[in-house]
């Protein structure tokens, strides 16, 4: 991320969709439309501060998407909570799963389900 900030110091992440939140964890896909860049972040919060963050800088195509071989190391699923939807744009049906634990070897999958079927999916790698 530091390298990216050096190369494009004025770039601002202006889109955040989808948002996934559960307990003290949040996940989102951010975008910099002016640069055509998308990335994902998964963060753990404590007392209003991020205490752990994983950045996924490369969006994978359907052909690149690995098949998970183990259970996710972290799974978040949005609750059906109208207040959370209004306050933070956290919509029901979205989930996020982080696979892998080693730095540089993790992927994150955002999926939206409708009646049990995946209808939208995005996968990113570190």
Q: State the DSSP string of 23-45.
A: TTEEEEEEEEGGGTEEEEEEEEE
Cα distances (Å, whole numbers) of residue 69 to 49, 66, 72, 96, 111: 33, 9, 9, 16, 18
Percent of the chain with pLDDT over 90: 48
Q: How far apart are CA 25 and CA 45, in angstroms?
A: 6
CB 68 within 8 A of CB 1: no
Answer whether residue 11 shows pLDDT above 70.
Answer: no
**pLDDT tens digits, 67-115:** 877 899 999 999 888 888 888 788 889 999 999 888 888 999 999 999 9
- The pLDDT of residue 12 is 66
């Amino acid at each position: 991320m530091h390298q990216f900030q050096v190369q494009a110091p004025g770039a601002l992440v202006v889109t955040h969709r989808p948002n996934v939140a559960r307990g003290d964890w949040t996940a989102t896909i951010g975008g910099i439309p002016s640069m055509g860049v998308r990335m994902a972040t998964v963060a753990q919060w404590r007392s209003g501060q991020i205490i752990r963050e994983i950045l996924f800088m490369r969006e994978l195509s359907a052909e690149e998407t690995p098949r998970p071989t183990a259970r996710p190391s972290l799974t978040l699923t949005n609750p059906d909570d109208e207040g959370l939807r209004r306050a933070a744009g956290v919509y029901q049906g979205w989930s996020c799963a982080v696979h892998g634990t080693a730095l540089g070897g993790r992927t994150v999958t955002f999926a939206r389900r409708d009646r049990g079927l995946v209808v939208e999916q995005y996968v990113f790698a570190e």
